[in-house]
Amino acid sequence: MSSGTLYDKVWDLHQVAELPGGSTQLFIGLHLIHEVTSPQAFAALKDLGLPVARPERTVATVDHIVPTTSQARPFADPLAEQMLATLEANCAEHGITLHGLGSGRQGIVHVIAPELGLTQPGMTVACGDSHTSTHGAFGAIAFGIGTSQVRDVLASQSLAMGKLRVRRIWVEGQLQSGVYAKDLVLHVIRVLGVKGGVGYAYEFAGPAIDALSMEERMTLCNMAIEGGARCGYVNPDQTTFDYLQGRPFAPAGDAWQRAVAWWRSLASGPEAVFDDEVCFDAAAIAPTVTWGITPGQGIGVDETVPTLEQTEPDERPLAQEAYRYMDLVPGAAIAGTPVDVCFIGSCTNGRLSDLQAAAQVAKGRRVAPGIKAFVVPGSEQVAAAAVAAGLDQVFTEAGFEWREPGCSMCLAMNPDRLEGRQISASSSNRNFKGRQGSANGRTLLMSPAMVAAAAVTGQVTDVRTLLP
Amino acid sequence: MTSAPFPTGPINAVSGTAIAVRGDDIDTDRIIPARFLKCVTFSELGPAAFADDRAELNGQHPFDQSAHRGARLLVVNRNFGCGSSREHAPQALMRWGIRAVIGESFAEIFFGNCLALGIPCLSVDHDTALAVQAAIEADPALELSADLETLELRGAQGPSWRLTLAAGPRQMLRSGQWDATGQLLANGAALTATASRLPYLQGFAAA
């Protein structure tokens, strides 16, 4: 049983009561909503005749269904338009702030809450979206919930939860040049598996984690859920505080120093006890690419698709399913695999530093013939900062399309999708069958720089060969 | 599509015919592809359960086989329901007719989403999962009962199998308290007390 960890401290502080069913009632400090998982929750609230308990603790944006070419209203897709109109009506009725299109603050929910300073250390954060784990980068306890739970948070600002165990993932050393947080987390999931984290919160710690920027920590925590861990977190430190200071909803004035003192006190101390601990060496990690149909089916870009003999016996049926679906040959090199579509964006890798890393590769090069490549900034703020830095020019001159912010082809709820058996190089988080909008479309997950490398070469390419 | 009433009240057993969907790591995108999430109610999701997997198998998917129509128990393998938190996944299964899921293991958010709908996710070991799946495939008319009191899965004749369910969810289902909203609203004073000791809600005022 863990003790003295950040997870334990934040959990204890937010406990309201023990519920008759044996779970804990946990206060939710920040509730984020979007258009896909909230309409049924508001409808349920109406059926129950209940108000939103604390509308000031819920913040909304629209991200999943927005088109990335023209965002003019009404949307061309009437279902998408209905979903946004429903969100607008629900927020207006209940007094919930909606950061809508053109507000300057719209974007993917897991991009905007951090950049607005809404996400802070020591909070509990819930959202009807599994990638809510992203917010753990700040030392928050953040997790995805279903729509019935969205209803519960709206009604009571709390949830019925069971406490997780805590596994510390200690990462020694430093990532090599051309190797990013995305590669690190794909490697962790490759080793621990997509079910390895079920029942756990992942605490990421160690010298390699200390050296990561906040945006890199967000990428890391974002994909904790792909390893089965409902939440992942990094202890708050000076990097965290420097990122937060001056953001619109961050504490200011006299409160700032008091906030920092409290945030520091939350970090897992030397006395902390973990339920489990696993160590990695950052320097040993190569740019990592998935070859299969789960995020755990990943390999270094310099490796070959594992053969059945190289696969653990109980993972073999899934490997065979992946060979069939992906049409990749066991034992063949992953480098050189031709791609059709290159997607840079998503809550995993749609932030400014992600676009900078990709632009560094794209600059002065051209997208290979026949490749569709596009960049979808994670938010209006990311887009504005990228434009200010000239990144949109770098991308368009290289032959990438520069789009409006949203979730886009990560899950293809908008018009951005694969067609037929197209294969994508994607900076998103899931390579599930059918994930990117075509029932037989194929996805290779990788870092944004690796996606850019695939775009300019037309195939999976070790980005380290293209960097200065 | 016919469907029994949705779960209400105490759930002590789920009985009926069963359907097997084999495979580890079946994610919620496969249970309900994202394009079906473009809706503001869950009401139309039942027929879309496993839509792409069914298309891929061209009528051979268990959810397309008439012998399994009306099944109440779904029997799966490891890490069922991983990936997206979409409650649309258990909603689609429930509206198709599923009232209990039996499997080797479940993704956490999926388990919680099912619990919030009154759908127990019961665990069995690997050999049991395979044995039950084989039994269902051999005899789609086989009636099974998952008993939450004795934690047994039984047929009219033949073997019974051991089920596992953590004490908390089991108590919530058996007592009818699996819908948490009422319980959460009952603790208003305690909730206010918790909020009043959270520094970030108090301007980080010195303790």
Judge whether A182 is closer than 8 Å to chain B, CB to CB: no
B200 vs A: CB within 8 A: yes
Domain A1-162+209-273 and domain A288-465 have a common topology: yes
pLDDT, tens only, A198-253: 999 999 999 999 999 999 999 999 999 999 999 999 999 999 999 999 999 999 99
Q: Do A16 and B191 touch (CB under 8 A)?
A: yes
Distance from A357 to chain B by nearest Cα, in Å?
Answer: 27
Write the CA distances from B24 to B21, B126, B165, integer angstroms: 10, 11, 20
What ipTM goes with this model? 0.96
At A285, is the secondary structure helix, strand, or coil?
Answer: coil
Please give the pLDDT value at position A337: 98
Q: How far is B157 from chain A (nearest CA, A)?
A: 31
Q: Which residue of A has its CA nearest to B41?
A: A40
The verdict on B202 touching A (C-beta cutoff 8 Å) is no
Of B38, B117, B191, the CB nearest to A65: B38
Chain A residue numbers with beta carbons less than 8 Å from the beta carbon of B179 are 148
pLDDT at B5: 86
The CATH fold assigned to A288-465 is Aconitase; domain 3 (3.30.499)
Q: Which of residues 90-119 of B touch A (CB under 8 A)?
A: 90, 105, 107-109, 112-113, 116-117
Residues 145-184 of B with CB under 8 A from A: 166-169, 171-172, 175, 177-181, 183-184
Judge whether A31 and A59 are in contact, CB under 8 Å.
yes
Mean pLDDT of chain B: 95
Two tokens at A307? 């053969």
Q: Where are the domains of chain B?
A: 13-201
- pLDDT of the residue at B3: 57
Number of H helices, E strands in chain A: 16, 19
> Within an 8 Å CB–CB cutoff, is residue B67 touching chain A?
no
**Given strand A124-127, what is the order of strands in its sheet?**
A97-99, A58-61, A30-33, A124-127, A141-144
Tell me, yes or no, if B49 comes closer than 8 A to chain A by beta carbon: no
**B189 CB within 8 Å of a chain A CB:** no
Distance from CA of A133 to the nearest CA of B (A): 11
pLDDT tens by residue, B48-104? 999 999 999 999 999 999 999 999 999 999 999 999 999 999 999 999 999 999 999
Note the pLDDT of residue B2.
47
Using CA atoms, how far apart are residues B87 and A43, in angstroms rounded to an integer?
15
Q: Which of A29, A152, A433 sits opposite B52 (nearest CB)?
A: A433
**Consecutive sets of 10 residues in chain A, 468 residues long: mean pLDDT of each?**
97 95 93 98 96 98 97 96 98 98 98 98 98 98 98 98 97 98 98 98 98 98 98 98 98 97 97 98 98 98 98 96 97 98 98 98 98 98 98 98 98 97 98 97 98 98 96
Q: Do A27 and B191 touch (CB under 8 A)?
A: yes
- Give, in order, the Cα–Cα distances in Å from A249 to each of A116, A143, A256, A392, B106: 6, 21, 11, 28, 37
Q: In chain B, whose CA is at the least distance from the CA of A131?
A: B84
Choose the closest CB to B117 out of A19, A23, A148: A148
User: Are B41 and A40 inside 8 Å of each other by CB?
Assistant: yes
Taking the CA of residue B204 and the nearest CA in chain A, the distance in Å comes to: 6
- Residue A206's φ and ψ, nearest 5 degrees, are 115, 170
| Confidence check: pLDDT of B206 > 70 | no
pLDDT at site A209:
98
d(CA A397, CA A392): 8
Q: How far is A117 from chain B (nearest CA, A)?
A: 12
pLDDT over 70 (residue B1): no
Asked whether the beta carbons of residue B175 and residue A21 sit closer than 8 angstroms, the reply is yes
Tell me what the mean pLDDT of segment B177-186 comes to: 92
- Domain coordinates in residue numbering, chain A: 1-162+209-273, 288-465
Strands of B121-123's sheet, edge to edge? B121-123, B100-103, B73-75, B13-20, B143-147, B152-155, B160-162
Best of A148, A152, A192, A314 to disrupt the B interface (most B CBs within 10 Å) is: A148
Under 8 Å CB pairs connecting chains A and B tally to: 221
**By CA distance, what is A429's nearest residue in B?**
B83
Query: What pLDDT does residue A22 have?
Result: 81
Give me the residue from B37, B171, B206 closest to A22, CB to CB.
B171
Q: Distance from B73 to chain A by nearest Cα, in Å? A: 22
The domain over range B13-201 is classified in CATH as 3.20.19.10:
yes
Q: Could you tell me the CA-to-CA distances from A27 to A15, A215, A434, B112 in Å, in that order?
A: 6, 27, 36, 17
CB B198 within 8 A of CB A26: no
**Whole-number Å distance between alpha carbons of A425 and A275:** 36
pLDDT above 90 coverage of chain B, percent: 92
Please answer yes or no on whether B197 and A195 come within 8 Å at the CB atom: no
Q: How many CB atoms are closer than 10 A to CB A325?
A: 18
CB-CB neighbours of A324 under 10 Å: 10
Q: DSSP of B90-114, one letter per residue?
A: HHHHHHHT--EEEES-B-HHHHHHH
Q: What is the dihedral of CA A79, A83, A84, A90, to 10 degrees?
A: 150
pTM over 0.90? The answer is yes
Q: Residue A449 in contact with residue A360, Cβ under 8 Å?
A: yes
Contact A336, A465 (CB under 8 A): no
Interface of A with B in 271-310 (CB under 8 A): 294
Q: Which two tokens stand for residue A361?
A: 């590769």
- Top CATH class of A1-162+209-273 equals alpha beta
Report chain A residues whose CB lies below 8 A from the CB of B190.
16-17, 25
B25 touches chain A (CB under 8 A): yes
Q: Does residue B157 carry a pLDDT above 90?
A: no
pLDDT at A275: 98
Q: Which DSSP helix (H) or strand (E) runs through B200?
A: none
Query: Mean of the pLDDT values across residues B118-130?
Result: 98
Residues of chain B in contact with residue A202, where contact means CB-CB under 8 angstroms, are none
3 state DSSP class of A92: helix
Contact status of A48 with chain B (Cβ, < 8 Å): yes
Residue B207 pLDDT greater than 70, yes or no: no
Provide the b/e sequence for B79-112 (b: ≥16 CB within 10 Å). Answer: bbbbbbbbbbbbbbbbbbbbbbbbbbbbbbbbbb
